[in-house]
Structure 1
Amino acid sequence: MLSYLLAIAIITLIYLLLSFGLSLQYGSVGLINFGHVGFFAIGAYTSALLALSGVPLFASFCAAALAAGLTAWPIGLISLRLRDDYFAIVTLGFSETVRIIIVSEKWLTNGVQGVPGIPRLFSSLPVGFEAQLATAGLLLAVCTLAALAMWRIIKSPFGRIIQAIRDNEDALKALGKDPARFKIQVLMLSSALAGLAGAFYAHYITFIIPEQFVPLVTFYVWMAIIIGGVGRISGAIVGTVLLMVFLEGSRFLRDFIPGVTEVEMASLRIGVIGLLLILFTLYRPQGIMGDYTKR
């Protein structure tokens, strides 16, 4: 039971890195990104393939973050010419394009067969509780550093400028600032976090396939930041934890509802999670950690 809870904690921390990145994009700049999972996949495959080629894990993790961040640069250029809703569609198409490339380029990614045997973190420790605990500790440290970095960014002059972009981009242009440069920088930084999360995911699971990087992952992260409170570090943390409670807790619904098959239970889980999201949107649109003086 303890190992199961620790495994859930590790996945929660990986999703927390994704939530930090998406919260920075939407909460601070107002970018609606439906393709966040694409950068997650780039990070996972980059680190996995490099590690299997003999590259040290520290270097492969850095390369994963760098590859995801650099890939976001042309996407950021596109965002300058599109309204928010069109940008959302473009990013969704981007994530699916990444997945299709992973499936098609079998010489590099092994296609739908996936990439097995990825070196795990703390391989010197025996497989089991100790290795999981060390991985969770490292992830917790990385998430803490990411949260502190986000807090510094939000409180800095740079943070005030990107929040001004979200509130009134035209007014910022009138003051002589260039919103384009700031949008691209935020998108690259957030995507680098997603790439780092992907590297952690690949080396924890030790086996990745294209079907692990479907758009549903992005929408799970959106659910987390909406439930917790958009644009707040505390909101990303609380929302991600609650999301995992919903996803994992709903697995036990079958114990209380007799006569439901496994297939029916999968649909029921999605329905319950969707209902919870609707209720949060209706009665707590600012999120749990949002401003309680507003509706």
Structure 2
Amino acid sequence: MLSYLLFSVTIGGIYALLSLALNLAWGGAGLVNLGLAGFFGIGAYATALATGAGAPLAIGLVVAMAAGVLAGLAITGLTLRLRDDYLAIVTLGFGEIVRLVALNERWLTNGADGMSGILAPGKAALGVAGFNQAWAAGVTLLVILVWLLLRRLDQSPFGRALRAVREDQELAGFAGKPVLRLKYQAFALSAAVAALAGALYAHFQSYISPDHFQPLITIYIFLAVTAGGIGRPVGAVLGAYCVVAFLEATRFLAAVVPGIEAVQVAALREALVGLSLLLVLHLRPKGILPERIPPAPKAPS
């Protein structure tokens, strides 16, 4: 039972990093990224390839984040003229392209068989129980660190400039804000955090395959950010842990609802996720912790 709880805490932390990534791009700059699973997958495969070639864990994480940044810059460059629904469609297509490349390019990713034996530091020395405890603590500390950094960023002039772009990019441009540069920076930072989450997932699981990066992950993260509070980093973290708790709790539906099979349980879980999103949007459209926009600093008299 303890190992299961530690596993849930670790996955919750990884989802929290993904939620912070989405909140930075969507909640901060208004860039709707439906390809979050693609950046998640890029980070996982990048670190798996790097550490598989003999690089240590730290280098693997750096490589993953660098790959995420490059992908984020590329997507931003291709979608400069797109906004709202059009941007969402393009990013959704990008996420699927990443998954299909991982599925078909066997020479690089081993295709549908996936990549196994990924470096899992400390697993042999600590054992399964110790490894789970160490990773639950490590991922949680990393979530706190990233949250503190993004919270500080959110309260800085850079964060206020991002919100100006989110609300009205034309007006922000007229006010002298470098809209294009802000978009590049926001999307690149968001992609780096999402890739970091993917790298941690790969090393924790020691196995990845294209099935791990389905668009459904993006839906989970959108639910987390929406439930927690769009535009507020602490809300994104809270929403991520709530979503993981909800998903894990619904695994036991077969024991509660009589006469249903495992396949029906899986379908019912997905239906409950959709229903939860509708309820959140209806009851708490601004989330559990709504965004609090601080007043602009007063000009010196």
Q: What's the TM-score, normalizing by structure 2?
A: 0.94
Alignment partner, residue 261 of structure 2: 261
Alignment partner, residue 100 of structure 1: 100
Residue identity opposite 2:289 in structure 1: M
Alignment partner, residue 279 of structure 1: 279
Q: Secondary structure at the match of 1:290?
A: coil
Alignment partner, residue 148 of structure 2: 148
Alignment partner, residue 177 of structure 2: 177
Quote the Cα distance in structure 2 between the aligned partners of 1:286 and 1:31. Answer: 17
Q: Secondary structure at the match of 1:54?
A: coil
The question of 1:191 aligning with 2:199 is answered no
Moved over 6 A (4+): none
Contact 1:122 1:135 in 2 (8 A): no
The question of 1:20 aligning with 2:20 is answered yes
Encode CA deviations 1:228-253: one digit per residue, 9 max, x unaligned: 11111221121111101111111112
Cα 1:22/1:252, change in 2 over 3 Å: same
The question of 1:270 aligning with 2:270 is answered yes
Quote the Cα distance in structure 1 between the aligned partners of 2:48 and 2:257. Answer: 41
Report 1:1-295 matches (<5 A): 1-123=1-123, 125-290=125-290
Contact 1:34 1:92 in 2 (8 A): yes
Structure 2: give runs of 5+ residues left out of the alignment. Answer: 293-301
Structure 1: give runs of 5+ residues left out of the alignment. Answer: none
Q: Secondary structure at the match of 1:268?
A: helix
Contact 2:231 2:291 in 1 (8 A): no
Contact 1:111 1:210 in 2 (8 A): yes
Contact 2:31 2:83 in 1 (8 A): no
Q: What's the CA shift for 1:137? A: 1.5
Deviates further, 115-124 or 239-248: 115-124
Q: Secondary structure at the match of 1:126?
A: helix
Question: Identity of aligned pairs, percent?
Answer: 42
| Aligned length in residues | 292
Residue identity opposite 1:60 in structure 2: G
Encode CA deviations 1:52-83: one digit per residue, 9 max, x unaligned: 11111110111101111111101111232112
Q: What's the CA shift for 1:291? A: 5.9
Encode CA deviations 1:14-54: one digit per residue, 9 max, x unaligned: 11100000011111111111001111101000101111111
Residue identity opposite 2:66 in structure 1: L
Quote the Cα distance in structure 1 between the aligned partners of 2:123 and 2:290. Answer: 41
Cα 1:123/1:266, change in 2 over 3 Å: closer
